[in-house]
Structure 1
Amino acid sequence: MNSAIRIHQYGGPEVLTLETVTAGDPAAGEVRLRHSAIGLNFIDVYQRTGLYPLGAFPQTLGMEAAGVIEAVGPNGEGFSTGDRVAYAMDLGAYCNERTISVDKLVKLPDGIEDQTAAAMMLQGMTARYLLKSSYPGQAGDTILVMAAAGGVGTLLSQWANHLGVTVIGCVGSPEKARLAQEHGCHHTILYKDEDVAARVRDITGGAGVAAVYDSIGKATLTASLDSLRPTGTLVSFGNASGPISDFNIGLLAQKGSLYIQRPTLATYIRSRELLDQCAGDLFDAVQSGAVKVRIGQTYPLADVAQAHRDLDARKTTGATVLLP
């Protein structure tokens, strides 16, 4: 029996329903994939609530997973039955079994387990484009990472540290501060108790940081801009506190000729060449030990509503994996 978590309307975690569905046979350029592990991400929440509209209902949520190919359709060159694969940024992962285009898949190296892959594909490739493309971190830079104890935050901080970048992590509790420090942060700031921008100025001797990587959005916009050095870069890549709206672009001039980017992972893996390059860099970083993937919690797929509640309430740390 193939089970899937679907929604028939936008709303809270209660709209997530477990249903029986048929995966079907793969069409041309597709495979049928049996999932072994599924990643949970904030984009799932944005889609569940309608912040990121999905189109006609019902919809199966979930944007990343790992598993084994069970059947290959016509023109599925490069992939075979039994291959261990993973993907990110393809809607429909909250299920036991599905069909998916081979254009979305990458083969997993022997040294990376399925749960690790499901925990790191979306968040790890996000960390990769943030550090390699959005603002290429260089040895000697100092950066600020919002939500540094989260899934992307722990990967980004480790990777930046490996590149010789000094990392300041912004977190919500002493426990999360310790976790961030264990994952590459040289300094941590408790945003509930401290003035973030003032602490950044203290740490940097008044200079500010070269870049802020901010997945929080509306609530941290001012603190992020005020933490930057002149000509610094704010990379706003998430909306955990709500979307930024009515932004006055003139603030960038007033605060020091700043730059701002609102990127998406989909743009940075939009072709087979870019996907392979991004995933390959991630696999190399993990297999070398430079980046360690921490799975903070797992849930049965049937309990995904509770997983969403915990993610909404900022109760999760590191990556979250759903087990079919």
Structure 2
Amino acid sequence: MRSRKLNFVSITFVVVLLCQSVHSQLQIGFYRNSCSLVELIVKDVVRDSFIRDHGVAAGLVKLHFSDCFVRGCDASVLIDSTPSNKAEKDSPANNHSLRGFAVIDNVKAKLEDICKGVVSCADIVAFAARDSVEITGGLGYDVPSGRRDGKISLASDTFTNLPTPSFNVDQLTQIFAKKGFTQEEMVTLSGAHTIGRSHCTSFSNRLYNFNGTKGQDPSLDFIYASWLKRLCPQGNTNPNLVVPMDPSSPGSTDTGYYVNVLANRGLFTSDQTLMTNTVTANQVNQSKRNPLLWRSKFAAAIVKMGQLDVLTGNVGEIRSNCRVINS
């Protein structure tokens, strides 16, 4: 028992060190003097939202990912489209799949009341993602802050920056490498698919017409495929039809994702493809066997992701409304 406790302390210490080794322009406690209650307010709003709808936690984690992988962590994913511009959130890559915008709006409104024009939307997204990981059983971590908000949001930017459910392991490795992540970090971050849900339209090709064969993906477990077919009938194009990403524990940040992949129950091609490469397959096995180690690596990887191409100093702006660029 003492050994397990020491291991937990050691892993937590490693995460703290990784969290502190961040881009020098971002700081843990950035708002200590200017808006000291910011992280408490974010946590309260996320918790209240989670109580009403458990699915919001996965939505906020994905929102952070979708933001950071396109133009960096600048809250560009929150900007609404206008008649003259189609924004990131309305791209086919994001449309119908992003959630949590109302949570961010709620946080921003509360913060504008007590410290107007101080806290960026980009930092709110990063804080909310951390709180979502923690509230679903993941490891808590410090969030370096000081990001500023971007002024550009283009749907076209998502096409080459976001991975798709049909990606194979080489494509996943390449797109993560472009963002500065190792293959191991890619496998670690893929574990985010342990929470949340997916639209049937994102994987139905694996059930009914895989690679034009009019059959199902042979790498998909037969019993699991039968269950998915009941939930996602052939020919149904309802964009609101969804299934849990990890049926055994859809609301827990745990290693159930890796258990599923090992059992040929990865929901997307981009999940099951991890078993087609010896190195990534070994990493899947390792993550399954060491849940606490995976949690610490996952926390460190999200901290690293939160530093992608951040705007700081006088670059960008602090939006008063996260959906609209300041006039």
TM-score greater than 0.5 by the shorter chain: no
The higher-RCO structure (CA 8 Å, 6+ apart) is 2
TM-score, structure 1 normalization: 0.28
More strand by share: 1
TM-score, structure 2 normalization: 0.28
